[in-house]
Structure 1
């Protein structure tokens, strides 16, 4: 058969018989207006903060600073803040001794020298008038945007000093009225003796990186929780803080298998009770690790709220009639594993063993009981 014949034969007899084409569902194209908006970065969120929210954010950051061992940090902002929005004290003598000042500025535009000069005058006047005993060792302007001209001046204290006194001279008529009774001369006299190297501007990228180590970061910016550390095995020996929930389990094992409730040794020696006890202890320590993780990663009270949610979900189960404490224990743990827990931010990292462990934390606090004939 020639090539042309083979070709004709191929086209004459198709390999597949023609079938009706299946109907295709219409393709739905999501309108740009219906698509989810892009997630804002923490830096973009800060731009939209109010002045009060910005000051609160800076306060959270200063409190968490590890490089300075502050004995206290206070918010002093307001219409009469005397040149300091946030003060951080390095000694119990507070502003009578070494302290740091953080001046919060939240404007649509980048702050410039014209923003800084009045604040520099204000802090010198506060000290000259003995509202503070000494000038702050460090004085930091913190703003979402700091202009290049101000950054350059802060990098060269001698130029900052010159610019400040030039500004004061040009605005002397107004400043004399604002700082009356010789207050202007006293403030400028102190400024002439002052080290302008104390003035600086905060770096927002560095501030955000440090704030990310605080429990407030997740709530403020809605970012995912940090990775949770790998769980550690329960220690071989029972710790004193385990006493109550362990005793409750020993009572279960005594009722179920006759193991002596006076010591964990009898339960450990029992083939089933021993394995069960070990699993419950692993779950308890898993929940304890979650509690510590929460303390360092989310606002105070978040973990306690999760505990309350678990308790609310299992309390009705615990109150049911059961033949033994063992069946009650199993039913409560199963309910905790399967229940819906709402919107607590820790649910991002909670696993079934955490839920079981929280039940044992509740038993440790006598909020849950397994063997109830004496209650």
Structure 2
């Protein structure tokens, strides 16, 4: 910890734990202490730590071919893309290395599509709509779509042309989309970083119909809520509303860096050689790992188990924590659950960690975010609920929000 402070740029306020190994839903620090992991590396380790099929896929590919660049064809990249197309609305895939990169690509694709679709218009629609409590990434385009001012203001000017509307406001969204200036609307079906807020079906449907009427594109950012986290393979399936573009990342390669942009043929037709690219994206090693993850998560029985465990956990949390005066609301779907408090969650997070449970915050720091590995057992969820209950009294010392 001391060495970290002397050699790394100080961008992270780290938790004072040095983790050294993990197995399943358990993590271990250098002193041998065991923790139940309800963070999944920020919703990344969907299959937990050291899944044998994932390890096999990584080792076999590492022994065969790790990286060749996109100058050449490679088999795992095409195989992964075929699977993603087969199990989604999309016709084509672009690979990146992270969620923020996936959103950067979606920004570029949306603008290129509008130029391509409006060849005679000297001022085609180039602006974007994003929403309150949104989080789309840290790079200059994605941060421009991210609502928290503290993420944007130190780096201004960021990409211009973004309007933030209230998440869920149907009328304001429809009016702005109808102005004819909007290239694309970026929205998370379930907001993770923003505090586990779920969209309503009416809201997403209204965005879909308004975009169709105006020629704007609808982009679903499923970087955190996609790939089985909700008990559906894609969060938008719960609403029956489908996007033109979807961005993915976190859990896709089980802990290795990957992002993906899924698009319809209509969007892909606007993109030409050289319009976008990446040296590392879609490398054989990462794509082979992602195939192992996607093959497991996309099984109906796996998704049904996530739904069942999510319902079980939410009911147990309601029963154990719901009566506490500091608990404002319990929300979420599947295994993305938020507990909104009327005080800062930080002391609670510390107390849980000291009791062997790792959890995250979200929102304004007053939401407890629970995103365990999707393989977690009901017994482990019961254990987590007990620790959360045991640590509740620390909230009585907090300051109201």
Class of the TM-score when normalised by the shorter of the 2 chains? under 0.3
Q: RCO higher in 1 or 2 (8 Å CA, sep ≥ 6)? A: 2
Look at both structures and tell me which one has the larger radius of gyration over its CA atoms. 1
More strand, by proportion:
2
Scaled by the length of structure 1, the TM-score of the pair is: 0.23
Scaled by the length of structure 2, the TM-score of the pair is: 0.22
More helix, by proportion:
1
